[in-house]
């Protein structure tokens, strides 16, 4: 693959050496949380199941909405639990029985509609037990049932693919994708509008969200033991009895497309995704599928929470985080190749010539080409390159603010470099950005290698994406729209 060039900021040619915190990409490292986008999970119908830590009992959520995409493959008289808190007393659950969906609601049940075998379909159920009605949706079509108020309680946690009547049983056969649990009633319009789109995980009322976007479809995923909840609540689940290799009883291709564009994606560092960083350990996992994980040595980076968003914090001092990463240059654009780099961040202080990201060789001068992005000498967001192979610095029209996050993207198509702020094109210029093909090149977060603390950014960084091609404005806008809710960007 080609060599990635990062975003660009005008770098002043100062020569200052400094100590750094080394961080290295671990190539092809096997991880229990290596993830890809848009997967589902296949259940064998024998004993595969997931039990989460979520309490979905009526005492906790008197009103709730459950959603899932399902692909059932067995049609007989067996009970097959899709999602459930059933402990033997006809508690809440969605099942398949004799070819029909079956909704449990406390003391009885209801068959609203037939299940389609060997094809994907979206299902949702709304429980409003105070009023006494149940609503079921198949592919957005509503079915109503009004049994009256119904009292019950469950002693088990939310499960996927089984019931828990003494022990797990009534196993489901088929695929499941994109399971959502809400503490509110979702309307038909809301269900229809969002059922084909991956959510950010921060939506109001979303209690738990299992996308199954982990592992490699049909690959060896034996190291993965936990299904991750995408919300901040982290109601994760335990994978039990799955083979986690091959085409069944394993992660498979899903049906809900991820909002994140994966074509050309070579690095995805997401501080708010527990699959990328769980909150403990010394590795920040790459979610692109390229296994470009980051491992650090003491002192460790600072992961913190800002308005409910988990971020990595950079500081302007050498003693704190100045993250330097060695990377697999074979994965990244070379020479005059194309690239795109995207960062969601918020500066904690604003001053000229501060670096968010940089890529280049480890010399102590600016003679080797380096690509940078951050706040330029003009006090605006900026991109640039320096060195013998070309020079360009351009300030955007956007004044940095410490009060809100923004998305800054730089794309390069071998001739023209473009800067986008919050999905909007702000600046273009022709530039030669040729980085030499060398393992000496380093990616740096929050600083640039050949200076001291003078260019260190004080910022919160939530998401870093690198692509080995120039994304279009439509694609950049799509990515911005996918994450803007999380980062509270209007």
Alpha-carbon distance 287 to 230, whole Å? 14
Residues in the chain: 490
pTM (global) more than 0.85: no
260: nearest Cα among 249, 244, 276: 276
- Burial of 111 per CB tally in 10 Å (0-12, 13-18, 19+): middle
21-32+260-483 and 43-253 share one fold: yes
Contact assessment for residue 374 and residue 356, using Cβ atoms and an 8 Å cutoff: yes
Class of domain 21-32+260-483: mainly beta
CA angle 453, 354, 447 (to 5 degrees): 50
Q: Which residues pair with 381 in a beta bridge?
A: 375
Q: What is the pLDDT of residue 385?
A: 64
List the domain boundaries for the chain: 21-32+260-483, 43-253
Which residue in this structure is represented by tokens 């909704």?
103
DSSP string across 240-290: ES---SSSSSSEEE-SS--SS--TTEEEEEETT-TTT--SSSSEE---SSS
Q: What does DSSP say about strands 323-326 and 21-26: parallel, antiparallel, or unpaired?
A: parallel
List per-block mean pLDDT (blocks of 10 residues) for the chain, which spans 490 residues. 35 30 31 50 98 95 96 94 91 94 85 94 92 91 81 90 95 98 96 86 93 86 93 94 96 78 84 75 77 66 80 64 46 62 87 71 53 67 56 65 89 83 86 61 65 69 88 89 79
- Strand ranges for 260-413 from DSSP E: 265-270, 283-284, 293-296, 302-306, 309-314, 323-326, 339-347, 354-360, 370-375, 381-386, 392-395, 406-412
Domain 43-253, CATH: 2.60.120.200
């Amino acid at each position: 693959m080609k060599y990635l060039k990062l975003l660009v900021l005008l770098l002043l040619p100062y020569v200052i050496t400094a100590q750094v915190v080394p961080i290295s990409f671990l190539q092809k490292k096997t991880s229990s949380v290596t993830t890809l986008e848009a997967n589902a999970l296949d259940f064998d119908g024998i004993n595969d199941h997931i039990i989460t830590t979520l309490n979905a009992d009526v005492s906790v959520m008197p009103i709730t909405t459950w959603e899932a995409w399902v692909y059932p493959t067995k049609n007989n008289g067996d009970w097959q639990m899709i999602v459930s808190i059933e402990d033997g007393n006809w508690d809440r659950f969605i099942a398949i029985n004799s070819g029909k969906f079956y909704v449990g609601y406390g003391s009885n049940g209801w068959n609203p509609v037939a299940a389609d075998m060997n094809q994907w379909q979206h299902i949702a159920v709304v429980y409003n037990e105070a009023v006494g009605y149940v609503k079921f949706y198949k592919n957005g079509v509503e079915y109503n049932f009004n049994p009256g108020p119904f009292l019950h309680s469950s002693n088990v946690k939310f499960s996927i693919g089984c019931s828990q009547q003494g022990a797990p049983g009534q196993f489901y056969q088929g695929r499941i994708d994109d399971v959502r649990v809400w503490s509110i009633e979702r309307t038909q319009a809301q269900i229809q509008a969002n059922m084909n789109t991956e959510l950010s995980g921060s939506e109001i009322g979303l209690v738990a969200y299992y996308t199954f976007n982990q592992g490699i479809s049909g690959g060896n995923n034996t190291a993965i033991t936990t299904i991750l909840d995408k919300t901040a609540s982290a109601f994760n689940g335990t994978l039990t009895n799955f083979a986690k290799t091959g085409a069944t009883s394993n992660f498979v291709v899903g049906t809900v497309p991820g909002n994140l564009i994966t074509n050309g994606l070579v690095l995805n560092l997401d501080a708010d995704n527990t699959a990328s960083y769980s909150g403990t350990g010394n590795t920040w996992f790459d979610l692109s599928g390229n296994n470009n994980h980051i491992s650090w040595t003491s002192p460790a980076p600072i992961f913190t929470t800002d308005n409910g968003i988990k971020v990595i914090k950079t500081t302007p001092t050498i003693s704190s985080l100045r993250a330097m990463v060695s990377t697999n240059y074979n994965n990244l654009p070379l020479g005059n190749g194309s690239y795109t780099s995207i960062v969601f961040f918020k500066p904690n202080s604003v001053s000229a010539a501060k670096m968010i990201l940089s890529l280049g060789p480890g010399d102590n001068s600016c003679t080797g080409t380096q690509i940078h992005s951050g706040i330029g000498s003009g006090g605006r967001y900026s991109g640039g390159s320096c060195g013998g192979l070309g020079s360009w610095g351009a300030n955007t029209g956007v004044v940095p603010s410490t009060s809100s996050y923004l998305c800054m993207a730089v794309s390069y198509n071998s001739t023209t470099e473009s800067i986008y702020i919050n999905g909007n094109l702000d600046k273009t210029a022709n530039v030669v950005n040729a980085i030499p093909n060398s393992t000496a090149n380093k990616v740096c977060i929050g600083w640039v290698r050949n200076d001291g603390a003078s260019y260190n950014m004080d910022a919160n960084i939530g998401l870093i994406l690198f692509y080995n091609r120039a994304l279009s404005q439509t694609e950049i806008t799509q990515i911005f729209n996918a994450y803007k809710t999380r980062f509270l960007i209007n």
